[in-house]
Structure 1
Amino acid sequence: MNILIVPIENDHSVAVVDLILNIQQKEFNVPITLEDQPDLLEINEFYHKKGGCFWGAFADGELVGTIALVKYDDSREGAIRKMFVKKEYRGKELFIAQQLLDTLIDFSRQNDLNDLYLGTVSILEAALRFYERNNFVRIEKETLPDAFPVMGADNVFCHLKLNE
């Protein structure tokens, strides 16, 4: 199977919405809607124009995973968003999640970011273990940078220092 990870833009919004909402709503029963995530329809505006990026993982042409970097102010910090991999493409055999995260971290380092933050929900236990294996440290919400864009559903937060 050929896995390709590339930056994607608004022309992939329909596939992105389909992938992410299915995982959020049907697989994990997270009470979130498309209206709660207008960024999914405005990928260029929310991610690329502000200095971040939105990547898609394609398996033989099908979108099977996403990850995004939000550059939320003029500092050297970024927020990881929209890290999703289709259930049948998860796991150590294909390493899609790892490839997505490595792509984002490489981009962040090349763009002189020092810190990455993320918010997630506690029911995504496998995701939390994955981030911790990648040297992310859980932090309290109160210690997030003031400019960090907190999502309503998030209740667990993590931080990665890039230049250590």
Structure 2
Amino acid sequence: MKTTIQQLNNSYSDQLIDLILTIQQKEFNVPITIEDQPDLKQIESFYMESGGNFWGAFIDGELVGSIALVKFDEKAGAVRKMFVKKEFRGKELNIAQELLEVLISFCRENGIEAVYLGTVNILKAAMRFYERNDFLQVEKENLPARFPLMNADNVFYYLNVNRTI
């Protein structure tokens, strides 16, 4: 199985909504709806117009993972929508790692030095993944003023893009 990562646009909204809501609601019972995430219907205007981007991981034409970057300051961005279908997770396929590396490369190429993210404390594997990738936990009150908070998030991380390999 070969993974292909490509930039996504509005034409992928329905596939993204299906991928993300299934993981959020059915797998992790996070009380979040599509109404709480209107960005999924406005990928180009929400992510790309500000200087961010949205990528998807495909295997045999199926969307199996996603990651997005919201640029919220001249040199800072927020990781959003980092999801991989359960049956495609793990070190064997390394999809999450590949998605994160694409995002970090994009940041370096576009002068984004700091990356922040929020997650939910029940997502223990996600937290371990970020920590293995040199993200440092940061208190909510220490986030940049313009960081785009999501209501469900209760654990936050920071990465200095230029310090990672």
TM bracket, shorter-chain basis? over 0.9
Distance in structure 1 (CA, Å) of the matches to 2:86 and 2:14: 19
- d(CA) in 2 for partners of 1:102, 1:163: 13
The answer for the alignment partner of 2:70 in structure 1 is: 70
1:107 aligns to what? 106
Distance 1:116 1:127 in 2: 16
Equivalent position amino acid for 1:84 in 2 = F
* 1:15-30 map, 5 Å: 15-30=15-30
Q: Which runs of 5+ in 1 are unaligned?
A: none
Question: TM-score, length-normalised on structure 1?
Answer: 0.98
Q: Matches of 2:66 and 2:162 in 1, distance apart?
A: 24
2:135 aligned with 1:122, yes or no?
no
Structure 1 position 79 matched with structure 2 position 101: no
Superposition deviation, residue 16 in structure 1: 0.2
Aligned residue for 1:154, secondary structure, equals: coil
Q: Is the counterpart of residue 6 in structure 1 residue 17 in structure 2?
A: no
* Structure 1 residue ranges (4+ consecutive) displaced by more than 3 angstroms after TM superposition: none
Match of 1:134 in 2: 133
TM-score (ref. length: structure 2)? 0.98
Mapped partners of 2:162, 2:92: distance in 1: 29
RMSD: 0.5
Q: Which consecutive residues of structure 2, in runs of 5 or more, have no partner in the other structure?
A: none
Same amino acid, percent of matched pairs = 63
- Distance apart, 1:72 and its partner CA: 1.4
| Residue identity in the other structure for 2:24 | Q
Give distance in 2, aligned partners of 1:83 and 1:35.
18
Hey, what's the Cα distance between the residues in 2 that align with 1:156 and 1:130? Answer: 13
- In the alignment, the residues of structure 1 paired with residue 162 and residue 43 of structure 2 have an alpha-carbon distance, to the nearest angstrom, of 28
> What is the alpha-carbon distance in structure 2 between the residues aligned to residue 113 and residue 49 of structure 1?
15
Determine whether 1:146 maps to 2:163. no
Q: 1:57 corresponds to which residue?
A: 57
Give the CA deviation at 1:81.
0.1
- Secondary structure of 1:81's partner? strand
**2:69 aligns to what SS in structure 1?**
strand
